[in-house]
Structure 1
Amino acid sequence: MSPTLPSSLGETLRQLFGDRFSTAQALREQHGRGESHYTPAIPDAVVFAESTEEVAQIVRLCAAEGVPVIAFGAGTSLEGHLTAARGGVSIDLSRMSQISRVSAEDLDCTVEAGVTREQLNTHLRDMGLFFPIDPGANASIGGMAATRASGTNAVRYGTMRENVLSLTVVLPNGQIIRTGGRARKSSAGYDLTRLFVGSEGTLGIITEVTLRLYGIPETISAALCSFETVEQAVAAAIAVVQLGIPVARMELMDRGLIQAVNAYSGLSLKIEDTLAFEFHGSPASVQEQVEMVAAIAEDIGGRDFEWANAPEDRNRLWKARHNAFYAVVSQRPNAKGWSSDVCVPVSELSGCIIKTRELLETCSVPAAILGHVGDGNYHVVFAVDPDNHAELEEVAAINKKMVRYAISVGGTSTGEHGVGSGKIAYMREEHGDAVDLMAVIKSAIDPQNIMNPGKILPR
Structure 2
Amino acid sequence: MAHEAAIEALRALLGDRLATSDSHRELHAQNEAYFARALPDAVAYPETTEEVSRILAICHEARCPVTPFAAASSLEGQHLPIAGGVSLDMGRMTRVLAVNAEDLNCTVQPGLTREALNTELRATGLFFPIDPGANASIGGMAATRASGTMAVRYGTMREAVLALEVVMADGTVIRTGSQARKSATGYDLTHLIVGSEGTLGVITEVTLRLYGQPEAISAATCRFESVEDAVNCVILTIQSGLPMARIELVDEMMVRGFNLSGDAGLPEKPHLFLEFHGTPAGVAEQAATFAEIAEDFGATGFAKADRPEDRSWLWALRHGAHYANSALEPGKRTLATDVCVPISKLAEAVTAAQRKSRDLGLTCTIVGHVGDGNFHCGVRVDPEDADELKKVKGFVNELNDLALSLGGTVSGEHGIGIGKQAYMTREHGAALGYMRALKQAYDPRGILNPGKLLPPEVA
TM-score (norm 2): 0.98
SS at match of 1:110: strand
**Which segment drifts farther, 262-271 or 5-14?**
5-14
CA distance in 1, matches of 2:50, 2:327: 42
Q: Let me know the Cα RMSD of the aligned residues.
A: 1.0
Matches of 1:126 and 1:84 in 2, distance apart? 39
Q: Deviations over 1:191-228 (max 9, x none)?
A: 00000000000000111100000111110000101000
105 and 33 in structure 1: CA distance in 2 versus 1, 3 angstrom threshold: same
Q: Give the drift of 1:126.
A: 1.4
1:333 positional shift: 3.0
SS of the residue corresponding to residue 449 of structure 1 reads coil
Distance 1:137 1:266 in 2: 21
1:375 Cα deviation after fit: 0.1
For 2:304, what is the secondary structure of its paired residue? Answer: strand
Letter in 2 for 1:5: A
Kept after mapping to 1: 8 A contact 2:6/2:64:
no
Q: Which residue of 1 aligns with 2:312?
A: 315
Partner residue of 1:196?
193
Aligned to 1:135: 132
What is the aligned partner in structure 2 of residue 170 from structure 1? 167
Is residue 60 of structure 2 the alignment partner of residue 58 of structure 1? no
DSSP-derived class of the 2:444 partner: coil
Residue in structure 1 matching 2:338, options 337, 341, 345: 341
Query: Within 2, Cα distance between the matches of 1:124 and 1:307?
Result: 27
The alpha carbon displacement at 1:384 in A equals 1.6
Q: Distance in 1 between matches of 2:300 and 2:327?
A: 29
**Which has the higher mean CA deviation after the structures are superposed, 262-271 or 131-140?**
262-271
**Per-residue CA distance 1:3-57 (angstroms, 9 max, x = gap):** x333222222112212111111222122123211111211111001101111111
- Corresponding letter in the other structure for 2:321: A
| TM superposition shift of 1:364 | 3.6
Quote the Cα distance in structure 1 between the aligned partners of 2:314 and 2:108.
Answer: 29
CA contact (8 A) 2:3 2:85 kept: no
- Say whether the 8 Å CA contact 1:328–1:366 is kept in structure 2: no
Q: Does structure 2 conserve the Cα–Cα contact (< 8 Å) formed by 1:27 and 1:46?
A: yes
Residues 49-448 of structure 1: matches in 2 within 5 Å? 49-448=46-445
Q: What secondary structure sits across from 2:103 in the alignment?
A: coil
Counterpart Cα distance in 2 of 1:330 and 1:77: 21
380-389 or 41-50, which deviates more: 380-389
Q: Partners in 1 of 2:330 and 2:347 — Cα distance? A: 33
Q: Distance in 2 between matches of 1:363 and 1:96?
A: 45
Which amino acid in 1 is paired with 2:97?
S
Cα distance change, pair 54–422 in 1 and its aligned pair in 2 (3 A): same
Alignment match, 1:35: 32
Residue 445 of structure 1 and its aligned partner are, at CA, apart by 0.8
More displaced 10-residue stretch of structure 1: 210-219 or 11-20: 11-20
Asked whether 1:26 is paired with 2:23, we answer yes
Compute the displacement of 1:323 (Å): 0.7
Task: Map Cα deviations across residues 364-414 of structure 1 (whole Å, 9 max, x no partner).
Answer: 442100100000000000122222222211100000000110011110000
Amino acid at match of 1:106: D
Runs of at least 5 residues in structure 1 that lack an aligned partner in the other structure: none
Amino acid across the alignment from 1:143: G
Asked if the contact 2:365/2:378 (under 8 Å) is kept, the reply is yes
Alignment partner of 1:450 is 2:447: yes
Q: Which letter maps to 2:379?
A: F
CA distance in 1, matches of 2:327, 2:92: 31
Q: Counterparts of 2:257 and 2:101 in 1: how far apart (Å)? A: 41
Name the stretch that deviates more: 78-87 or 137-146: 78-87
Identity %, equivalent residues = 52
Amino acid in structure 2 at the alignment position of 1:441: L
Supply the AA of the counterpart residue of 2:317.
Answer: A
Q: How many residue pairs align between the two structures?
A: 456
> What CA distance in whole angstroms lies between the structure 2 residues aligned with 1:304 and 1:275?
11
Q: Give structure 2 stretches of 5+ with no counterpart.
A: none
| Aligned 8 A contact 1:96 1:113 in 2 | yes
Give the secondary-structure state (helix, strand or coil) at the position aligned to 1:152: coil
Q: TM-score, normalised by structure 1?
A: 0.98
Structure 1, residues 277-314: CA drift from partner, whole Å, max 9, x if none? 00000011111110110000001111110111100001
